[in-house]
């Protein structure tokens, strides 16, 4: 039995504080409680997301399709390039590609994947995906695909389709073989490719032959041309035919379902099936927009998939899913529910539940009986877990956070007193205030004069909803007296008593006003109750940390890295090290960073200065620390 303690966890009923998750020896959640026991997790915890629709090999061709051909490009021209590409992929290459994309999925919050596999030849292609999943640790639902024809009307397969060729008996033999290899993290279903690739008789034969709990996935109504051809061949539209002829139920996952009538939308929702939505691929291929609002209005279930893997990030899929709805309906914040007005929370909970159903896996919720598929969020997610990271010691907070999640951390600082202070914190000492903190600490002492009451600040720090946070901030806390006091606290004449001129030159003019705008930005994006930086800044409450071992060094960062062996570090967290440093030192530092970096290492440079571009602005806004103006992330 293992216990994990999360300060914040997304439970089926919504976000909860101080959650203990107990996991049995088989990897299932046995109990969820509010007991403050267990291994402390480094950030908010979500139920892992299911990637319900994957063609792993397509990850390796993603960039090849972004060059326009001699005529008009669409889904069908993209498909021809895919045919040419897959002819070159052998089982060893398929395993390498799958392992790579599965690791990418895991790093972004997917914990299970449905592999819709139609490349049956040569032998070993399917098993290569099973091996890749087991080596990387992602849960897998294998979906061997029935692929018999090249188009409606039982058109024979052409030469470029031969690697996909299968019949019902062949597919059932694959199903039984894979079924014998099933485990808590491996499931198997079937995937009749589409109505254009499988005739009605074969589809009915396949569905009747597999067990009643086996997942069944099928592409349907992705393209308008497909709908027209289906109507001409079968007398009905794809969804109309499936609903009438196949008795679709909860074990079905209809992938895409982009082009439906209102009646089909309501009927599919009523069937209990899951729709597999792949917004980045559907957008990339120009498929069209799924009618999510109408489908949800009928209580339809859905999940998300990476499909061609132009993205491996569930948050990006969900964001694009919502944005497509906004564009077509010309409204905002459309996907919300009774549990929460937060779009992101609603999308994650609904897609996680739908994806779990589609993969036939007990996941998608942090609840007893579910697999302990947990996704951890924090501002340090840019580094892969277990990285070897160099950071600036400063007050020790970043170093402690990185070490707490299992990274091998080296913290350096040119100031011996700073290193000694971090060492004392490792032994249980108190946090020392930084530059912005000291200014706010002076203001906190005069809180009543500023119009701040302690009880009001406590309530503000415990708020959940950004809209309410902004309203309270503007109405009760961002008072005229506070603004005046903040301006005095950060006047250049006052700051020059504490800081060197080069550092002050970095600060934007009227830094007090800039700081207020950064506060507002953070309150509008992040929940205060899940952001320890808010309580630290406005209540002086130290962040709760349990320091893990780390290496401390009194050294200039550039000099230290110059003396390290090449390829020493996976990541570099460099907070305001260049604020006030000259160009020569910046060039020297980054030359040393590149030399000490392992392949694909990541550097994060934070600064009080204003951002140079929109990406730096977006990164700064994404950090829960409210004070940064610019955050630059670079893969080395």
Measured CA to CA, the distance from residue 573 to residue 623 in angstroms comes to 13
User: Following CA atoms 78, 79, 84, 89 in sequence, which dihedral angle do they give, to the nearest 10 degrees?
Assistant: 110
Long-range contacts of 520-523 (CB under 8 A, 24+ apart): 520/470, 520/473, 520/474, 520/478, 521/621, 521/626, 522/621, 522/624, 522/626, 523/466, 523/469, 523/470, 523/473
Q: Is the peptide bond before 122 cis (omega within 30 degrees of 0)?
A: yes
β-bridge partners, 533 = none
Query: Using H for helix, E for strand and C for coil, what is the string for 530-561?
Result: HCHHHHHHHHCCCCCCCCCCCEEEECCHHHHH
Report the distance separating Cα 443 and Cα 361, nearest Å.
53
Residue 171, judged by CB atoms within 10 A of its CB (0-12, 13-18, 19+), counts as buried
Distance CA 473, CA 467 (A): 10
Residue 357, SS3? helix
Q: Which of 117, 256, 259, 309 is catalytic?
A: 256
Catalytic residue flag (residue 193): no
DSSP assignment letter at 508:
P
Chain Cα centroid distance, residue 343 = 15
Q: Is 632 exposed, middle or buried, given 0-12, 13-18 or 19+ CB atoms closer than 10 A?
A: middle
Q: At what angle do helices 511-525 and 480-489 cross, to 10 degrees?
A: 120
C-alpha closest to that of 463 among 528, 367, 549, 400: 528
Q: What is the DSSP letter of 48?
A: P
Q: Which two tokens stand for residue 343?
A: 């779009």
Q: What is the CA radius of gyration of the chain?
A: 27
Q: Which tokens sit at 132?
A: 């890749």
Residues in contact with 84: Cβ distance below 8 Å, sequence separation at least 6, in sequence order? 160
Cα–Cα nearest to 361, from 348, 351, 370: 370
Element (H, E) at 39: strand 39-40
Neighbours of 154 (CB within 10 A): 14
Burial class from Cβ neighbours inside 10 Å (0-12, 13-18, 19+) for residue 449 reads: exposed
In terms of Cα–Cα distance, which of 176, 225, 168, 174 is closest to 193?
A: 168
Inter-helix orientation angle 511-525/532-539, to 10°: 140
Using left for φ > 0, alpha for ψ between -120 and 50, and beta otherwise, residue 428 falls in: left
Catalytic annotation, pick one of 8, 199, 287, 307: 307
Q: At CB < 8 A and 24+ separation, what contacts does 20-24 make?
A: 21/45, 21/366, 21/372, 21/374, 23/372
DSSP string, 230-245: HHHHHSS-HHHHHHHH
Active site residue 307: yes
Residues with active-site annotation: 256, 307
């Amino acid at each position: 039995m293992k216990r994990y303690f999360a300060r914040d966890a997304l439970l089926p009923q919504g976000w909860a504080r101080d959650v203990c998750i107990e996991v049995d020896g088989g990897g299932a959640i046995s109990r969820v409680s509010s007991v403050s026991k267990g291994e402390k997790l480094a950030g908010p915890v979500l139920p892992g997301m299911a990637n319900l629709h994957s063609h792993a090999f397509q990850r390796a061709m993603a960039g090849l399709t972004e060059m326009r051909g001699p005529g008009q490009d669409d889904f069908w021209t993209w498909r021809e390039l895919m045919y040419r590409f897959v002819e070159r992929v052998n089982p060893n290459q398929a395993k390498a590609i799958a392992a790579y994309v599965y690791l990418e999925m895991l790093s972004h919050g997917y914990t299970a994947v449905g592999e819709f596999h139609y490349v049956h030849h040569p032998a070993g292609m399917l098993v290569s995906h099973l091996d890749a999943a087991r080596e990387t640790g992602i849960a897998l639902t294998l979906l061997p695909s029935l692929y018999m024809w090249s188009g409606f009307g039982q058109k024979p397969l052409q030469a470029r389709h031969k690697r996909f060729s299968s019949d019902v008996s062949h597919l059932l033999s694959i199903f039984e073989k894979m079924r014998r290899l099933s485990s808590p993290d491996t499931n198997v279903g079937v995937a009749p490719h589409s109505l254009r690739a499988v005739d009605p008789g074969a589809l009915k034969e396949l569905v009747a032959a597999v067990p009643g709990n086996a997942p069944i996935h099928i592409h349907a109504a992705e393209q308008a041309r497909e709908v027209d051809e289906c109507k001409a061949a079968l007398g009905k539209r794809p969804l109309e035919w499936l609903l009438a002829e196949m008795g679709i139920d909860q074990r079905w996952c209809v992938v895409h379902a982009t082009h439906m009538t209102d009646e089909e939308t309501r009927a599919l929702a009523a069937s209990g099936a899951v729709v597999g939505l792949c917004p980045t691929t559907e957008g990339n291929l120009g498929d069209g927009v799924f009618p999510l609002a109408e489908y949800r209005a009928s209580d339809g279930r859905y999940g998300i998939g990476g499909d061609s893997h132009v993205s491996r990030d569930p948050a990006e899929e969900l964001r694009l899913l919502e944005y497509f709805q906004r564009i077509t309906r010309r409204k905002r914040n459309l996907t919300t529910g009774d549990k929460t007005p937060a779009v992101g929370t609603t999308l994650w909970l609904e897609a996680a539940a739908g994806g779990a159903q589609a993969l036939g896996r007990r996941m998608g919720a942090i609840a007893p009986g579910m697999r302990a598929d947990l996704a951890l969020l924090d501002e340090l997610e840019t580094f892969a877990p277990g990285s070897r990271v160099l950071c600036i010691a400063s007050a020790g907070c970043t170093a402690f956070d990185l070490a707490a999640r299992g990274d091998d951390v080296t913290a350096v600082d040119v100031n011996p007193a700073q290193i000694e202070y971090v060492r004392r914190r490792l032994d249980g000492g108190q946090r020392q205030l930084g530059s912005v903190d000291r200014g706010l600490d002076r203001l906190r002492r005069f809180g009543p004069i500023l119009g701040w009451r302690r009880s009001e600040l406590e309530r503000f720090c415990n708020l959940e909803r950004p809209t309410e946070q902004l309203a309270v901030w503007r109405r009760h806390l961002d008072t005229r007296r506070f603004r005046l006091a903040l301006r005095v606290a950060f006047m250049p004449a006052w700051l020059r008593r504490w800081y060197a001129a080069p550092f002050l030159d970095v600060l934007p003019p009227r830094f007090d006003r800039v700081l207020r705008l950064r506060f507002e930005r953070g309150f509008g994006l992040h929940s205060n109750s899940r952001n320890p930086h808010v309580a630290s800044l406005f209540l002086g409450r130290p962040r709760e940390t349990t320091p893990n071992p780390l290496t401390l060094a009194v050294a200039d960062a550039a000099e230290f890295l110059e003396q390290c062996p090449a390829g020493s570090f996976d990541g570099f967290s460099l907070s305001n090290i260049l604020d006030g440093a000259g160009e020569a030192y910046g060039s020297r530092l980054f030359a040393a960073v590149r030399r000490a970096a392992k392949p694909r290492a990541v550097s994060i440079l934070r600064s009080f200065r204003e951002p140079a571009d929109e990406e730096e602005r977006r990164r700064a806004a994404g950090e829960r620390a409210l004070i940064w103006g610019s955050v630059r992330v670079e893969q080395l």
